[in-house]
Amino acid sequence: MKISLVNFIIFSSIIGTYFLAIPVLVVLGIGISLIGFFVNLIHSKKFRINKIGILILINFLYWIISGFLVGAIDFTSFADPLFYDGDARVFLSYSSLLFFCVSSSNLNSLHYSLNIIRGLSSFSFLLFLFWIPTKAQFISEGLANNFAAFLTSHTGAGTFFGFLSIILFFYGYFNKSKFDLILSFMMLLAVFGTGSRATVVGLVIVGFWFVFSNFKLKKFIFISLISIALLAILPIIATHTFERISLLFDSNVFTLIFEQIKIGESDGWEPGYSERELASGEANILSRIVFWSYAIHRFLQSPVFGIGWGRYNDLSVNFSGIPGLIYIATSGDRRFGAASAHNSYLMLLCESGIIGLVLLLWLWWSIYLNLNKAKIYFSKSPSIQSYFIAAQGTVWFTLTAAMFGHSLAAHPSVSLY
């Protein structure tokens, strides 16, 4: 019975994330996982919960206290659906992990997860092949330039397919499974279709980690050949993505960066008022510079605790305290939405300060160490060990992508763990 519940929660987390545009399944999965968490916790004689679960709850408590203190949360917030569609998405994302902090699973659950990933990858690639000539709107984001499948954004889609590609690659490589390696390559092509530059950068970092963590010439050649093949076909299968990546090296963009920094640092600018207040050039890149600049500006005003959880997006915010030490929001017009600083680290520093960033990174570091312990424990069973190496790769991927989006709070990033 326990294994069936574990497998259902795994199924709802993965499939529910894939169909995030239709949130019923993922909400059902999170609800059942929370019920399972409390039931298991209450039935355990000593309220046993592992370190990961304790750290999740500590982060929850810190965010809630901070939110209450600055007026971003009140007792009615938790009954408001808009709250969960905005700032509180982070609670939903990490809630799906709590069940596994008080319950156990076995190797069958790992294999079950892999089979779901294989099925989704095959289906997604067929969908991607259909999208290439048709640019069908129902599986696109925006003006149909980006492939999104059934996720809610091209960044979320890129993150999701990036996860699938990493898991399939490491499992296929260490188990010499050509089928999984081919599926991994297919998911890389789907990533390029999403147009997510953050995902591409994250995959590059994972590639470096894979090659240099235990350097072997064979691995280096293998990764190099894949990279060359992808670079050769990228302009053909994903012209829009190729153009977006090329803009990262556009000298005109670099000349406008300091102008954007001044906008973000000005007291009259707030996220939401002038999100496209750009001199000219590539709006996506330059708007991020403004968001980052604003987040840094607010963090420097209140480095210890930040301005308060949930206050980054708000308008007409008033502050109180000692600028440069503790300078928190006291009032403002609440804005519900998933908008962020497009950088998890800056978002956390802005809203939660150094303490908030340390607490969340402590959680991720603990996840990584647990995976490393499992990797060492199963060193004599490469087929099992490959799961944990793959999961370590996804941690590197998430922490890298977090520099360009709010991956440390996004459902596609967190719930897949």
**d(Cα 230, Cα 233) in Å, to the nearest integer?**
5
- Averaged over 254-270, what is the pLDDT? 70
Tell me how many degrees the CA angle 405-299-282 measures, rounded to the nearest 5. Answer: 40
Pairing of strands 315-322, 146-147: unpaired
* Domain segments of the chain as ranges: 2-101
- Averaged over 398-413, what is the pLDDT? 81
Please check the confidence at residue 39 and state whether its pLDDT lies above 90. Answer: no
Asked whether 30 and 93 are in contact (CB, 8 A), the reply is no
Output the pLDDT for position 402. Answer: 92
pLDDT tens digit sequence for 229-246: 777 776 776 676 666 666
* Between 248 and 149, the higher pLDDT residue: 149
Q: What are phi and psi of 319, to 5 degrees?
A: -125, 155
**d(Cα 10, Cα 355) in Å, to the nearest integer?**
32
pLDDT tens digit sequence for 69-115: 998 888 888 888 778 777 888 888 888 888 888 877 778 888 999 99
pLDDT band at 354 (very low <50, low <70, confident <90, very high): very high
Q: What are phi and psi of 10, to 5 degrees?
A: -60, -45
| Three-state secondary-structure class, residue 33 | helix
Contacts of 417 (CB under 8 A, 6+ apart): 97, 367, 391, 394
> For the chain, how many residues are written?
417
Record the tokens describing residue 13, joined without a space. Answer: 């987390």
Q: Name the pTM for this structure.
A: 0.88
pLDDT band at 1 (very low <50, low <70, confident <90, very high): very low
Q: With both helix axes pointing from N to C terminus, report the angle between 2-18 and 24-43 in degrees, rounded to the nearest 10.
A: 150
Output the pLDDT for position 304. Answer: 94
* Residue 326, beta-bridge partner list: 322
How many Cβ atoms sit within 10 Å of the Cβ of residue 396? 20
